[in-house]
Amino acid sequence: MLAARLVLEKSPHVLLIGEGAENFAISHGMARVDNDLFSTPERLLQLQEAKAGGEIILDHHAAPLDERQKMGTVGAVALDLAGNLAAATSTGGMTNKLPGRVGDSPLPGAGCYANNASVAVSCTGTGEVFMRTLAAYDIAALMEYGQLSLYSACERVVMEKLPALGGSGGLIAVDREGNVVLPFNSEGMYRAWCYAGDTPTIGILSRIEQGRGRVSQTHETDTCEVLVVRNLNVAFRQQDAPEVQAVRQLSFSLRRGETLAIVGESGSGKSVTALALMRLLDAASSEVNSEGLWLRRRNRQVIALNEQTDAEMRRVRGADLAMIFQEPMTSLNPVFTIGEQIAESLRLHQGLGREEALRAAKKMLDQVRIPQAEEMLSRYPHQLSGGMRQRVMIAMALSCRPAVLIADEPTTALDVTIQAQILQLIAVLQKEMAMGVIFITHDMGVVADIADRVLVMYRGEAVETGSVEEIFRSPQHPYTQSAAGGGPAAGGDAWPGSAAPFSAAGPAAGGERNARYGSRRRADPAGA
């Protein structure tokens, strides 16, 4: 996963969470640790008794008794860079006496929420052990007293605490199979949140060797193209004003199981492209033409979208080509229940009766992880939270198992925890259904995490396209370079003065470019 690589390459202090955190740390050479340190409190006790020197008593009662019973035994360990045990604590009910004195305050291990004897590890330099190990305490305190979720608490620590140690802080979650599911960097770039599981352990590790910890991202794709767009043009007519050319000569293709991210600043033509593909633009005020818009349906039939009648498109939309819109509250009908709205698509495209369609709608709500799905069928959109409404939109879009899903900034208005769950949900369902996905966004962090290929749009044109690796590691077009330079890049620091990626202000000014692109190219250091 590219975002995880960039976090590892840019962040000297990385917070690991997840059931696979220990194995990830060892296998990726993030610190000099050995399996003894990822062991039971009894083993830790044996280690500490082998040490000589002063003693420190650590508070092991930070978590309430009932929470300790639910969690099982967890612990926190601090190491120095030489691999020496500097401090440890446990919620298992024993007092740990360790060599060396790292501070006077209690050092609870309650930040490690797990159902086994996992430990949190901090590999640090001399004199910084206590401060860095406190990150686990900070997370526990934010969860207990600040009423934050685990992921929000981790974000707060990574954003505010770890950078104080020098350099940026990073967060990576690893599931029990060793898959990286959540990379994050405190510099605000590559925020690719994905749900990491219910019982993560927490570890704070400092990278020692540059270039280690590389994780690959793969998707099961084949060479079968499910969507081909050739020279799409969209223009809007205005009264008493010149015609607006929203999309110019846009061409791209999408394979089965592939995720294509279309990125660009506001007004670049991303959403207009999606609406043109869905044939939802107002014919009275817009003009759409192309050399071809071809869709391969689920039954393998290839149709030209631009040649379909309105009646034929109504049979295609929802069944073979579906879309998740930006704002679910304006997309859902406020006077119909959730069940009726999902069932309508099933009745239209699959010919189901009302009761059978409602049962299928309930299964879809279960599939998108909505609790109490039976009860949810009778609710109205205004009775749901933003995250639940977005899940309903996903259920509706995927109810007929389309060949292509267009997701138009589906997480823009959601908090980071809900964003993570929605992104992970789309990825899981994509794999189950072998869909091609077009993901429209301006968030380059999301792109780095979920996309296979990227198409960059600027003022209605595709200025660059390539694999996610190519776009992030070796962008060719000045606009892409400026956008990618707004945050940490694999090869070096962000360019001074560059704007946030795809902000309204656009990339940084300076240098030269052709007339259409303006003077938005960064100055060439070689020519300075």
- By CB atoms closer than 10 A (0-12, 13-18, 19+), residue 283 is exposed
Whether 318 has a binding-site annotation, put simply, is no
The catalytic residue among 73, 411, 441, 480 is 73
| Residue 123 and residue 31 in contact, taking contact as beta carbons nearer than 8 Å | yes
Strand partners, 457: 462
Whether 449 has a binding-site annotation, put simply, is no
Q: Longest C-alpha distance within the chain, in Å?
A: 86
Helix (H) or strand (E) holding 458: strand 453-458
Whether 256 has a binding-site annotation, put simply, is no
- By CB atoms closer than 10 A (0-12, 13-18, 19+), residue 249 is middle
What strands, in cross-sheet order, belong to the sheet with 259-263? 321-324, 404-408, 436-441, 259-263, 453-458, 461-467
Q: Tokens in use for 33?
A: 């640790």
If you write DSSP's letter for every residue of 219-236 in order, what string do you get? ----S-EEEEEEEEEEEE
Strand partners, 185: 170
* Angle between the N-to-C axes of helices 354-367 and 338-350, in degrees from 0 to 180, rounded to the nearest 10: 110
Helix (H) or strand (E) holding 237: strand 225-238
Whether 124 has a binding-site annotation, put simply, is yes
Strand 169-174 vs strand 180-185: parallel, antiparallel, or unpaired? Answer: antiparallel
Whether 103 has a binding-site annotation, put simply, is yes
Q: Tokens in use for 428?
A: 């899981």
CA-to-CA distance for 126 and 432, rounded, in angstroms? Answer: 49
Sequence-ordered alpha helix ranges (H) in 326-435: 328-331, 338-350, 354-367, 373-376, 386-398, 416-433
40 is catalytic: no
Whether 314 has a binding-site annotation, put simply, is no
Q: List residues with catalytic annotation.
A: 73
Known binding residues for substrate: 101-104, 124-127
